[in-house]
Amino acid sequence: MIGLLAVAAALGFGHLVAGVVSPASSPFLAVGDTVIRFSPQFLTEFAKATFGVADKPVLLTGMAVVIAVVAAAAGLASRRRRGPGVVAVSVLGVLGLAAAVFAPVFSPLDLVAPLVASAVGVAVFVGLHALALRACGARTADSGARLSRRAVLVGSSAAVAVMSVGAGLGGMLLSGVGDSRQRVTAQLARVRLAKRAPAIPAGAAFPELGTPTFLTANRDFYRIDVALRVPAQRAQDWTMPIHGMVDNPFTLTFDDLLTRPLVERTITMTCVSNPIGGDLVSTANFVGVELRDLLLEAGIRPGADQIYSTSIDGWYTGTPSEVLLEPGRGALLAIGMNGEALPPEHGFPVRMVVPGLYGYVSATKWVVDMEATTFDAKPGYWLERGWAQKAPIKTQSRIDTPRGFATLPAGRLVVAGIAWSQPVGVSRVEVRMDGGAWQEAELSTEVTGDTWRMWRREFDLSPGSHTVQTRATDSNGLTQTEQRADPIPDGASGWPATIFSVA
Ligand SMILES: Nc1nc2c(c(=O)[nH]1)N[C@H]1C(S)=C(S)[C@@H](COP(=O)(O)O)O[C@H]1N2
Ligand SMILES: [Mo]
């Protein structure tokens, strides 16, 4: 118990101090980040496939269990002398220190939290250990004294526990990001947008048929990243240099972005890891600055074929310059999402959004650096892990109704779903039942080529088992391929199929 409490107090205080001086250096989370960074690929793929979006809570829980076991063992090993416990707590402290030092982004301030955590851990351990020895030493004297000393031990332990929890919470609250977000949301409400996204027409979605609503609420928007803790940076502290192969490098502040023309654009984002029928696709109204204008102002040189962006959490990716410079592509340096500041999990204060490219080559969240360079010079995070360099979104369709293996009553039934092909848009979706002839589905009103489109079609089926399939065609007349492919290296393909039965 003494081991557990000492380590808990250390981690709690480490978190508190990190919240004040440098959020990235919280020892527990810094160690978790390091585990993710150095995990072999088969392990990360296994975790993503098995736990999905719960992969981070699972990792943190696993780490907590391992640390708790080590801490308890340290306590048990110190029954007589405190030496083993002090060593164990110190070793954990060194791990936290190492994780902070070898993090992708390091500043000397990051040393403070792990050092304070180690000192608190050792001090609490030594203090409680002395207390416990005294209580145990009295054990043979008389049982009355033993009880009261046990009360002392329990009382002081409880105090340490409360302190630890308080310190941990304090660390989360003190970073001030919540206030900053509220301020940005208020600023966005006042700002006059240079261009608004057109209102979403009533016929743009069929949520009553089980397809998604046209815009995805921020809390429902799919989330994918390798950041264990959501990076905490205040808008007023944000700066981003645009540099490298450019003639006029400059550095942007958040206020610079607010005073530039801000445009609103409805964009459907997609993750390359989305399997056929998957839900890593969502749509939002993003507000931001035209990335193309920024790159032209910086005077990007012809040889720079990639814009290499880095997140404050150390993640990095390269986006093809030709896509970002394409007139009308509409790549954004975004600060708003669905009428508010970017949510912390979606990149507050600033992120990239590029219509038509999978997120891993374009949608850097918490972006803090942009360098014009070449693909040869610097590979992105997922490029290094076997994913493709250029990653245009593949035309895809999904069946939402009926659900797989559903049993439906006889009579007329509706098949419905979504399809996407950013940035050109979907012009046709066909449906076929039991391998029969393809039949054209009814499409929802098109919003823009950058967004998904819903479809539906009625069928009258005989009782028994049925298989429905779909395929979408983009506005250039290209139909999604039947060829099945796994997400790696450049996105899943193939016609979705749903098996269900009619009673
Ligand atoms: N900093 C950072 N940005 C990132 C990532 C990341 O791991 N770290 N993942 C990318 C991937 S793979 C996708 S699909 C999108 C997802 O954005 P969302 O979580 O807002 O939906 O973010 C991209 N931006
Ligand atoms: Mo992704």
Which domains does the chain possess?
2-174 (no CATH), 181-373 (3.90.420.10), 396-502 (2.60.40.650)
Q: CA 452 to CA 350: how far, in whole Å?
A: 24
Question: Is 363 touching ligand 1 by the criterion CB < 6 Å?
Answer: yes
* Helix, coil or strand: residue 39: coil
Residue 153 three-state SS: helix
Mutate to test the pocket of ligand 1, among 360, 370, 385 (most ligand atoms within 8 A of CB): 360
Residues of the chain above pLDDT 90, percent: 71
Q: Find the mean pLDDT for residues 284-307.
A: 98
- Alpha carbon 43 to chain centroid, angstroms: 18
Cβ–ligand 1 contact at 311 (below 6 Å): yes
Over residues 422-445, mean pLDDT: 98
Residue pLDDT, tens place only, 56-106:
788 888 989 999 999 999 999 998 899 999 999 999 999 999 988 887 767
- How far the first Cα of the chain sits from its last, in Å, is 59
pLDDT at residue 58, rounded to an integer: 86
Q: What is the pLDDT of residues 10-46, one digit of tens each?
A: 988 888 888 777 766 788 888 888 888 888 878 888 8
Distances (CA, A) of 157 to 5, 128, 129: 7, 8, 11
User: Whole-model pTM?
Assistant: 0.78
| Rounded Cα distance, 362 and 355, in Å | 9
Q: Which atom of ligand 1 is nearest to the CA of 231?
A: 1
- Ligand 2 centroid vs 269 CA: distance in angstroms? 9
- CA dist., res. 60 & res. 33, Å (int): 10
- SS3 call for 88: helix
Residue nearest to atom 6 of ligand 1 (CA): 225
Tokens of 158: 């409880």
What is the reported pLDDT for 170? 67
What is the chain's mean pLDDT, rounded? Answer: 91
d(CA 426, CA 232) in angstroms, rounded, equals 38
Rounded Cα distance, 442 and 428, in Å? 8
CA-to-CA distance for 250 and 298, rounded, in angstroms? 7
Pick the atom of ligand 1 nearest to 223's CA: 19
Per cent of the chain over pLDDT 70 is: 95
Give the model's confidence band at 146: pLDDT under 50 very low, under 70 low, under 90 confident, else very high.
low
Question: Ligand 1, atom 9: nearest CA belongs to which residue?
Answer: 225
Cβ atoms 17, 171 nearer than 8 A: yes
Supply the pLDDT for residue 147.
54
Query: Which CA distances in Å does 377 have to 247, 305, 373, 474, 475?
Result: 19, 10, 7, 34, 36
Instruction: Determine the distance separating the centroid of ligand 1 and the alpha carbon of 225, expressed in angstroms.
Output: 5
Q: In DSSP terms, which residues pair with 357 in a beta bridge? A: 392
Q: Is 225 in the pocket of ligand 1 (CB under 6 A)?
A: yes
- CA 343–ligand 1 middle distance (angstroms): 13
CA distance 276 to 254: 38
Q: Is the dihedral of CA 9, 12, 17, 23 positive or negative?
A: positive
Q: Would you tell me the crossing angle of helices 112-137 and 2-21 to the nearest 10 degrees?
A: 160
Q: Residue 140's pLDDT is what? A: 46
- Give kind and range of the element (H or E) at residue 314: none
Of 95, 96, 72, 75, nearest to 86 (Cα)?
Answer: 75
- φ and ψ at residue 457, rounded to 5 degrees: -160, 140
- d(CA 364, ligand 1 centre) in Å: 6
pLDDT at 131: 83
Q: Can you tell me the distance from the alpha carbon of 307 to that of 367, in angstroms, rounded to the nearest whole number? A: 12
Beta strand pairing status for 239-244 and 367-373? parallel
Residue 384 in tokens:
């290094």
pLDDT band of residue 110 (cuts 50, 70, 90) is confident
* Amino acid identity, position 115: L
Which of these, 269, 287, 267, lies nearest to 195 by C-alpha position?
A: 287
What is the sign, positive or negative, of the torsion defined by CA atoms of 66, 72, 77, 82? positive
- Does the C-beta of 222 come closer than 6 Å to ligand 1? yes
The mean per-residue pLDDT over the stretch 330-339 comes to: 98
Q: How far is the CA of 458 from the centre of ligand 2 (A)?
A: 34
Structure tokens that stand for 471 in this block: 């395929």
Could you tell me how many residues make up the chain?
Answer: 503
Atom from ligand 1 closest to the CA of residue 347: 20
Is any atom of ligand 1 closer than 6 Å to the C-beta of 129? no
Residue 344 has pLDDT above 50, yes or no: yes
The residue type at 443? L
Is-contact 29 63, C-beta < 8 A? no
What is the Cα–Cα distance from 27 to 98, expressed in whole angstroms?
9
Average pLDDT over residues 272-298: 97
Q: Decide which of 164 and 70 is more confident.
A: 70
For residue 111, give the nearest of 343, 168, 440, 103 by alpha carbon: 103
Ligand 2 centre from 393 Cα, in Å? Answer: 11
Interval 105-118 mean pLDDT: 86
158: Cβ contacts below 8 Å, ≥ 6 apart: none
Instruction: Compute the distance from residue 305 Cα to the ligand 2 centre, in Å.
Output: 22
Ion ligand 2: residues, Cβ under 5 Å: 224, 271, 359-360
Least confident of 59-68, 169-178, 327-336: 169-178
| Cα gap 253→464, rounded to integer Å | 62
Residue pair 265/285 in contact (Cβ under 8 Å)? The answer is yes
Cβ atoms of 382 and 414 within 8 Å: the answer is: no
The response to whether residue 269 sits with its C-beta less than 6 Å from ligand 1 reads yes
pLDDT of residue 138 exceeding 60, the answer is: no
- Banded pLDDT at 346 (limits 50, 70, 90): very high
What is the tens place of the pLDDT at every residue in 356-382? 999 999 999 999 999 999 999 999 999
